[in-house]
A and B are shown apart, each in its own frame.
Chain A
Amino acid sequence: MTRQMTGAKMVVEALKDQGVEVVFGYPGGAVLPIYDEIFQQNNIRHILVRHEQGAVHAAEGYARSTGKPGVVLVTSGPGATNAVTGLVDALMDSIPIVVLTGQVPTFMIGSDAFQEADTVGITRPCTKMNWLVKDTDQLSDTIHQAFHIATQGRPGPVLVDIPKDVQFATGIYVEKPQAKVAHYQPRTKGDPAMIEALVEAMEQAERPVFYTGGGVINSGPRASALLRELVAATDFPITSTLMGLGSYPASGKNWLGMLGMHGLYEANLAMHGCDLMINIGARFDDRITGRIADFSPGSKKAHVDIDPSSINKVIHADFPIIGDVTQVLEEVLRVWKARGSKTNKAALKTWWGRITEWRAVKCLTYKNSETTIKPQYALERLEALTKGRDRYITTEVGQHQMWAAQFLGFEDPNRWMTSGGLGTMGYGTPASIGVQIAHPDALVINVAGEASWLMNMQEMGTAVQYRLPVKQFILNNERLGMVRQWQELLHGERYSHSWSEALPDFVKLAEAFGCKGILCKDPKDLDDAIMEMLAYEGPVIFDCLVEKHENCFPMIPSGKAHNEMLLGEAETKGVIGAEGGVLV
């Protein structure tokens, strides 16, 4: 049965066909026909954000907490350009997002029309794929392709640019099953011979470590379950990147904590000293490896990744396995069981002995204060008072993000939404909104710094409009904390523009938005204040005044190796050499 309809109607039909429940968007001239269709139906809920960047981050929060693609609808020109940061954020963190943009009518393209921008040109390197649809007959097919490409293989953002005349014109609707998607079918099954070789290496390994990343989470909840099964079967230690937190539970006995630049001592030293590194769904990011030449010098490395270009990009893989994490782990476990595999128990015992010594260093120790709230203390209390609840955490970017990763424990995947690859300040507030839309009854907290938080604070309007009880937990040091820390370590304590001389009164700001504001500055009041925040049924802006000059440790300075990490203030003198200074 062929169905004729307008392009605008097709957009709504195609979204419905794809099972979309929510769209984050902002109307404008070039998308009015689509908004008119949205007005006349009840299947798809539209969330009106306050800025297009907020729409994309909200869609990312939605996608990361559900595993489903997030959908965005914005207008041409500035609507599209405002969405660019979110697109790159999603590209770097492999988050499935479908962005629909309006465009000036086809006959006006290239004329510098009002609100015209070369959206596909601008977003080509910011998306996994993008399209300009010039013919209404192609529209629904293209949208179905867009969903397929966003979600298959390594997920990522896609964009469909739809000129206004294409929205008005009538064409033939193509149902989802008929869409032309066949040519994009990434490989998901790992090479059996390589998996066999890896299992053999695992049997012989004396100092093994699992190094897992966001790929485990992107592969779906089954991947996390299989990972837990494999860790239990082998008793190998496991660490994870910022992106992969929650795939293995923080309370699990084999958990070493996060690794990397601000990762835990035991995790980084295990990476440095291992003889078999099993990378599952991570990409050897520079925040993880430190100095490449001295990265885990004595180990064989396995690398499981769905994206062939990730393998051997930075670090040579001895066991390259291209495939979906779920399928590869299933196969690894099957082979493990079929071979009746046994680990080298004696060596493993010695290895755990060394890890226990590293753990005893207690690298997250900080000097608490009776009078000032230490940011680490604030997060410890937040963790203690929210543990066991149906909790989702988003963050902004900076010191607070690293402290959140260190001090909050994640027991399950999809509970932790943070901008990893791009490091986008302003991510957390809109992301928390997207998460709360997907999980209306859950506790959603955005752990923020005041500087990041100000970057997308307009989205509190969205939170109030849709009665989303998101908790904005702001660790306010009146500084750009991470910038300040680097200036202290690297730029002779010349704090160039790393503080705000005019911060708003966050409690009054909360009231102005129509939500609740809480100010806390005394450690003795902190527990009560947090409980007050949790008890309040609507959105809360929590202004937690913390120590202004706290540095985030442990830290591997740029250009250094894992075994050169700094544990505290005493060790920071002259740590970053000239070579490290040019890194970020």
Chain B
Amino acid sequence: MSPLNIEKGSSSHSAYDLRSHMSDTVETHTLAVLVQNEAGVLARVIGLFSGRGYNIESLTVAEVDRAGHRSRITIVTSGTPQVINQIKMQLERMVPVHEVHDLTVEGPFVSRELALIKVIAKGEHRVEALRIAEIFRANVVDSTLQSFVFEITGTPEKVDAFCELMRPLGEVRLARTGVAAIARGV
């Protein structure tokens, strides 16, 4: 039996690259996941994403119902429709997960992020920073002679835009919470 000619570089493909998907369009979805607030639940959810190769663009978590021991995880993820569907199904079947809502398909929703932005600037740049902050309705929550800390709430795009405008004015340090989202109406 003769040896087979394997093309150079063929092993660089993942086995799963050969699979066809229903659609190749990558979509971004915001998921709200209500979970039992217990030890390891966040590790479980994150482990699902890393173990199965899904993307996490943003993830926030906090307890929302102390008496009921419920936490709400808001995840922004991207993938083909088939992958998004798998993510939801895989989340739903986890034992400590109570509910999974795909806010992107369930109707209009509000999504906000909070950011604290420290700008270290001098002279005119300080004035300019304050002027831009006013336009963006950002609050000054700390001030020294060398720096401001602004608090801004909004969509991730708004936070991005604000940061981009601040960067030329001085050194920018940034803390962002990630997206929290909830459906509009009742």
Contact = CB atoms under 8 A, between A and B. Distances in A.
A, B from the same assembly? yes
Interface string A305-333: 00111011110100000000000000000
A291 B4 contact: no
Interface in B27-55: 36, 39-40, 43-44, 47, 51
B89 interface: yes
B175 interface: no
Interface string B1-38: 11111110011011100111010000000000000100
Nearest to B81: A312
A579 interface: yes
A578 B18 contact: no
B177 interface: no
A340 interface: no
Interface string B89-129: 11011011010000000000000000000000000000000
B82 interface: yes
A125 B10 contact: no
B95 A128 contact: yes
B3 A493 contact: yes
B4 A492 contact: yes
A491 B1 CA distance: 11
Nearest to B15: A583
B15 A309 contact: no
A493 B19 contact: no
Given A291-B18, A309-B93, A493-B3, A581 B43 contact: no
A486 to B, nearest CB: 11
Interface string A115-149: 00000110011001110100000000000000001
B47 A579 contact: no
A323 to B, nearest CB: 14
Contacts of A490: 4, 6
Interface string A275-307: 000000000001000011100000000000001
A488 B1 CA distance: 8
Question: Which secondary structure dominates chain A's binding surface?
Answer: loop
B3 A492 contact: yes
Contacts of B96: 129
Give the interface centre of B13, B18, B39 by most chain A CB atoms within 10 Å: B18
A489 interface: yes
A20 to B, nearest CB: 21
A293 B4 contact: no
B86 interface: yes
A509 B76 CA distance: 58
A80 B7 CA distance: 43
B22 to A, nearest CB: 6
A572 B1 contact: yes
B85 interface: yes
Contacts, number: 85
B1 A292 contact: no
A305 to B, nearest CB: 11
Contacts of A314: 19
A584 interface: yes
A120 B43 CA distance: 11
Given A124-B43, A308-B93, A316-B22, A493 B1 contact: yes
Given A492-B4, A493-B3, A582 B92 contact: no
* Chain B interface residue bracket vs A: 20 to 34
A389 interface: no
Interface string A468-491: 000000000000000000001111
Given A120-B40, A292-B20, A149 B95 contact: yes
A291 to B, nearest CB: 7
Contacts of A125: 47, 51
Contacts of B40: 120-121, 124, 130, 132
A579 B89 contact: no
Contacts of A312: 82, 85-86
A184 B2 CA distance: 56
B3 A124 contact: no
Nearest to A488: B1
B18 A121 contact: no
Contacts of B15: 286, 582-584
A183 interface: yes
A193 to B, nearest CB: 20
Contacts of A492: 2-4
A292 B18 contact: yes
A307 B3 contact: no
A313 B43 contact: no
A559 B17 CA distance: 11
Given A293-B20, A581-B11, A573 B3 contact: no
A451 to B, nearest CB: 23
A512 to B, nearest CB: 40
A576 B11 CA distance: 13
A184 B98 CA distance: 9
B18 A581 contact: no
A574 interface: yes
Contact of B89 (A124, A309, A494, A574): A309
A149 B97 CA distance: 13
Nearest to A145: B95
A583 B93 contact: no
B18 A579 contact: yes
B4 A579 contact: no
A581 B95 contact: no
Contacts of B51: 125
A540 B117 CA distance: 73
Contacts of A493: 1, 3
A203 to B, nearest CB: 28
Contacts of B14: 582
The residue among B6, B10, B39, B40 with the most chain A CB atoms within 10 A of its own CB is B6
A577 B44 CA distance: 38
B11 A582 contact: yes
Contacts of A184: 95
Nearest to B18: A579
A578 B7 contact: yes
Contact of A308 (B22, B43, B82, B89): B89
Contacts of B2: 492, 573-574
User: Ordered nearest first, which 8 A-B pairs have the shortest CB separation?
Assistant: A492-B3, A309-B89, A578-B10, A578-B7, A129-B95, A583-B15, A293-B20, A292-B19
30 contacts: A130-B40, A132-B40, A154-B93, A286-B15, A307-B93, A309-B89, A309-B92, A309-B93, A312-B86, A313-B89, A314-B19, A316-B22, A489-B1, A489-B4, A491-B3, A492-B3, A492-B4, A493-B1, A494-B3, A559-B18, A574-B2, A574-B5, A575-B4, A578-B7, A579-B10, A581-B4, A581-B10, A581-B11, A582-B14, A584-B15
Interface of A: 120-121, 124-125, 128-130, 132, 149, 153-154, 183-184, 186, 286, 291-293, 307-309, 311-314, 316, 488-494, 559, 572-576, 578-579, 581-584
Given A130-B40, A183-B98, A582-B15, 10 more contacts: A120-B40, A132-B39, A153-B93, A309-B89, A309-B90, A312-B82, A312-B85, A489-B1, A574-B5, A581-B10
